[in-house]
Amino acid sequence: MDTSKFIKSFLIIILITSCSEVSDIDKFNLIVDEQWNKVISDNPVYASSMGDLSRNQEWGDSSLRKIFQDHEYEKEMLIELESINPKSFSEDDLTNYRLFVKQVSESVEMQQYKLYLLPFSHRGGIQLLHDTTSVLPFRSIDHYIDWIERLKKVPDLITNEIAIASQGIQNNVMPPKILMERVKEQIKLQANTTAYKSPFFKHFGEMDSRLFSEDEIKEIQDQALEVISRDIIPAYKNLLKFFEKEYLPNCRISIGISDIPNGKAYYEFTARRFTTTDLTPEEIHQIGLKEVKRIRDEMDDVIESVSWKGTFKGFLNDLRTNPKFYFDNPDDLFKEYLATSKRLDPELVNLFKVLPSIPYGIKPIPEESAPDTTTAYYQRPAADGSRAGYYYVNLYRPEVRPKYEIEVLSVHEAVPGHHLQIALAMELDLPNFRKYGGFTAFVEGWGLYSESLGYDMGLYKDPYSKFGQLTYDMWRAIRLVVDTGMHYMDWSRQDAINYFLDNSAKTQQDIINEVDRYINWPGQALAYKIGQLKILELKNRSKEKLGDLYDVKDFHHEVLKRGAIPLYMLEENIDAWIEDTLNL
């Protein structure tokens, strides 16, 4: 269903809800339901990942026409939402209303900045489309046939990307050239290859002989090779030609988002949006500097405890270069990630009243994207329970993946970090836009807060592992400084890299990838430390006010039981819980 049909459907809703006998809560619920139906209809791949396979052969419409239609749809929806009077809503309904209005109004506000004219990213996108297989089901021959049918339509997606990028050139909304050089290399992997060696064929080459016969596997693989050869590779060759001849020459040399039209105002907006606060970029920068100093003092204490005789920079250099801190092969690195995760799971009952029923597993980051991405990331479970959550770890160049980071990384990405919080939210009785959405400051703030829980779980006993935890805390504090520095204060890319090198034990490979990530995604990195600081602030407030009535399990339950919410709303809820507990 396209957006024009949804607009007609939405107009019908407006007519229905204009009747006096329709309550405000019914009006609101109709709008929310219609919007969720639109999300599923607009995003067939997302629907497939959620277990809805009704459009398992389709992609979403990524054209400029669709983007503009969606903008009009959201403006109409916001007008209707603002006509609703929520004074009679229950507490839960009022929360849903406030969050939904915030989500729609921010999307409408963002339209003016035209960030949709930046379609390419070295961390995902059209040139890494083969990674889509990680969220799709492949349990039957029909599922593979569906994927082949989807692949036949990839040329249309590439045509849309070229059209959007061309509009970006005309509007001078362009990305930094240094990032697009990475994208060019990724496109080359798709264009300058044979069908058999194509990243798109890899999944077909790994078909499970326990599920399918040899004849079935051969038939599917032959079909895939034909489509890749006939449709996929020529389409990427066309994209590469456009990229090299037209797009790259027009990319900007600068790195900060403030250099696009209206870019400084956009960064102020995105800082508020990602942190769910009214903090200005200058205020966030100062918070970062203060946190860097605090963590540096704690690092110095650890350095003293291991009797290091040299300088701070010398200690960091030893951590980056001493072979004893690294595995020499990816298999041993992966085994250590597995072993660490198994140690975490039994400790959760001491900190949480409710645990998710959905499990998680660990997988290597695909080798095609591993060189250009960060140390690890988390992928949420499928909504229908058909796929567990997954903690993806980067095994590319194990000689730059420190052993002392494994514990802190695991508590952040798996448990009690992202998997515990996200899987629990998926099991709550919430509207879909909340169950499967969220706010970065809460989600990533919780992940970073979870790193501190490693001490309660028996981790960081080795001083170098403790330094690893401090390194990760420092990493997020540095983000506040360098993200605001590059996008708002005219820092260069090298300025950001140098600041990282001077204050963090992270390896240069990780630092470069991190800095490029912040360039690519302005403001997102601000959410982690701001969210963590708020959760720690509320924890300390709860301990102080409740005294003997404080129980960490109760605090964690209160933080998590509503899913991911803005920080200001979390504070409201914790303050109310403190008062209710005191009045029992």
Kindly tell me if the per-residue pLDDT of 504 is higher than 70: yes
Kindly tell me if the per-residue pLDDT of 117 is higher than 80: yes
Each domain of the chain, given as residue ranges in start order, spans: 3-113, 126-253, 267-529, 532-582
Sorting pLDDT into bands at 50, 70 and 90, what band is 1? Answer: very low
Task: Report pLDDT digits (tens) over 44-96.
Answer: 999 999 889 999 999 999 999 999 999 999 999 999 999 999 999 999 999 99
| Inter-residue contact 197 to 122 (CB < 8 Å) | no
Kindly tell me if the per-residue pLDDT of 226 is higher than 70: yes
Sorting pLDDT into bands at 50, 70 and 90, what band is 15? Answer: low
Task: Report pLDDT digits (tens) over 324-370.
Answer: 999 999 999 999 999 999 999 999 999 999 999 999 999 999 887 78
Sorting pLDDT into bands at 50, 70 and 90, what band is 6? Answer: low
User: Residue 75: what pLDDT?
Assistant: 97
Q: What's the rounded Cα separation, in Å, for the pair 140 and 283?
A: 54
The β-bridge relationship of strands 389-393 and 376-379 is: antiparallel
Cis ω for the linkage preceding 416 (within 30 of 0): yes
Q: Residue range 532-549: average pLDDT? A: 98
The phi and psi torsions of 66 (rounded to 5 degrees) equal -65, -40
The percent of residues in the chain predicted with pLDDT above 90, rounded, is: 90
Kindly tell me if the per-residue pLDDT of 104 is higher than 50: yes
Task: Report the residue count for the chain.
Answer: 584
Q: What's the rounded Cα separation, in Å, for the pair 109 and 92?
A: 26
- Report the chain's mean pLDDT, rounded to a whole number: 94
Task: Report pLDDT digits (tens) over 387-409.
Answer: 899 999 999 999 999 999 999 99
pTM for the structure as a whole: 0.91
DSSP states of 77-113: HHHHHHT--GGG--HHHHHHHHHHHHHHHHHHHHGGG
Q: Checking phi first, is residue 262 left (phi over 0); if not, alpha (psi -120 to 50) or beta? A: left
User: Residue 371: what pLDDT?
Assistant: 85
Provide the token pair at 532. 């963590």
Q: What's the rounded Cα separation, in Å, for the pair 23 and 84?
A: 9
The percent of residues in the chain predicted with pLDDT above 70, rounded, is: 97
Q: Write down the residue that tokens 């590439």 correspond to.
A: 158
Kindly tell me if the per-residue pLDDT of 4 is higher than 70: no
Q: Residue range 360-384: average pLDDT? A: 88
User: Residue 55: what pLDDT?
Assistant: 97
Residues in Cβ contact with 144 at an 8 Å cutoff, skipping those fewer than 6 apart: 138, 204, 207, 220, 224
User: Residue 16: what pLDDT?
Assistant: 54
Q: What's the rounded Cα separation, in Å, for the pair 13 and 223?
A: 45
Sorting pLDDT into bands at 50, 70 and 90, what band is 437? Answer: confident
Q: What's the rounded Cα separation, in Å, for the pair 174 and 55?
A: 33
Q: State the amino acid at position 500 in one-letter form.
A: F
| Inter-residue contact 467 to 299 (CB < 8 Å) | yes
The phi and psi torsions of 507 (rounded to 5 degrees) equal -70, 160
